[in-house]
Amino acid sequence: MKTLKKFVVNDTEFEMSSGNVYADLGLPDSEEMFVKSQLAYKIAEIIQTKGWTQQEAAHRSGMPQSKLSLLLRGQFRSISEAKMMECLTRLGRPVQIVVGPESINKLKDTGTEIIILLCGGDKSTQQADITRAKEFAREVG
C-alpha cells in the first residue's frame, strides 16, 4: 500500500489522496481500475447530457442494458477497457490512445474525442509498456 501524505486539522488526522483511490487502497489493478472509472464517468456524462434512457443508451452503445446498468452503478470490473472505448465511440466520442513517458494514466475529454495517455515507468519497463500499449490499441482497433 502506498504511503500517503498525512496532515492534521483540529486534532483530526487526514491522508492526502494520490488521485487514484484504487492505488490508495493498495489494489493490484489500480491503474486499470482508475482508467475504467474515468471511462465509465464519461459514458454516464454523455448519456445524461443527451437525456437518453438506459435502454436507448444501450441500443446506441451496442452494450446490453443490464451490463450498461452495472457500469453506470460503478460495477465495471468485468467490462474491458476496449469495450468501454468502443461504447464511447458508438456514443459519438472517438477515443485516441497516446503513449507517454510519465508515471500516471490520464484521460482528457476534448469535447469531440477522448484521449487516453498510457504512461510507462522508465527505461527498464519501456519495452513492456510499448507492448502493452500496442495490445491495447489492437483490442480497441
pLDDT at residue 126 greater than cutoff 70:
no
Q: Give helix 30-50 / helix 65-72 axis angle, nearest 10°.
A: 110
Q: What is the DSSP string of 84-129?
A: HHHHHHHTT--EEEEEESSSS-EEEE-SS-EEEEEE---GGGHHHH
Domains of the chain: 6-140 (1.10.260.40)
Task: Quote the pLDDT of residue 100.
Answer: 61
pLDDT band at 8 (very low <50, low <70, confident <90, very high): confident
Q: Give helix 126-140 / helix 81-90 axis angle, nearest 10°.
A: 50
Phi and psi (nearest 5°) for 113?
-155, 160
Q: Residue 82: what residue type? A: A
Residue scoring higher pLDDT (29 or 124): 29
